[in-house]
Structure 1
Amino acid sequence: MIYKNSVEKISPEMLKGFFVDWPDHPTPETHLKLLLNSSHVVIALDENTNKVVGFITAISDGVLSAYIPFLEVLPEYKNKGIGKQLVERMLNELDQIYMVDLCCDDDLVPYYEKYGMTKSNAMLIRNYTMQSGSTN
């Protein structure tokens, strides 16, 4: 497995299969756009297939705060330590930031607690008509 901190040489064709269980998931082209627009990104690349198999993103002001909106590993690559590597590498990138926030479902709280994160409250809005990221 190769871990990269950039999307250089990543194409939409390499990003297929993500956003599992999303009713209206982003296209690979939109996925690439969200990676490009993130402040920080770590990508797991299967060197045998040259396919992206996992990614994590962060959006940060570069001073005090960062938010991690996405961590995803393709289903066939789960339980192989890839997610752990992605989280650890991202937290290492953000180690000079005062606050790193992340929202997750209750069943994922124990996973993130292993990285020193503390359960908190969050408020959010979900505009499901824009779930795919398409403006068409």
Structure 2
Amino acid sequence: MVYLDSLDQITEDQLDSGFFDGWPNPPSVRNFYKILENSSYIQLALDVESNKVIGFINALSDQVLAAYIPLLEVIPAYKNQGIGTILVERMLEKLQDYYMIDLLCDEELQAYYTKRGLIKASGMMKRNYQNQSGIQV
């Protein structure tokens, strides 16, 4: 496994199709690549044998005070091997100088993120599930 912090040398063909497991309307591979490309920061896990990205985390930031982590995904076949934990740790290290690092997650994931130094908070959100696959690019 190799961990990368950019899309340099990564193509759409290297994005495994197993991401967004359980999503009824996941982003296309093209939109997935655009998500990574438009993020302020990314961390990728690349399986060197298959030459496929099998895990990622991204962050959006104002580059001054705040960063938001919207997605952490690991291909189901690679889960429970510590890959997600390494991705989170690498991202938090990258974001350590920001005043606020926010992340919104389901209640069953709060213990996972608490173990990684985040604290539980309340927040508000809106989801337009009909747009879950993203704006078509």
Q: TM-score, normalised by structure 2?
A: 0.96
1:53-83 CA-partner distances (Å, limit 9, x unpaired): 0000000111110000000000000011100
1:1-136 to structure 2, matched below 5 A, reads: 1-15=1-15, 16-135=17-136
2-11 vs 96-105, greater mean Cα deviation:
2-11
- Look up the equivalent residue of 2:3 and give its one-letter code: Y
Where 2:89 maps in the other structure, the secondary structure is helix
Q: Give the superposed CA RMSD.
A: 1.1
Unaligned runs of 5+ in 1: none
64-73 vs 11-20, greater mean Cα deviation:
11-20
**Identical-residue share of aligned pairs (%):** 51
1:95-117 CA-partner distances (Å, limit 9, x unpaired): 00010000001110000001111
Unaligned runs of 5+ in 2: none
Distance 1:121 1:12 in 2: 36
Q: TM-score, normalised by structure 1?
A: 0.97
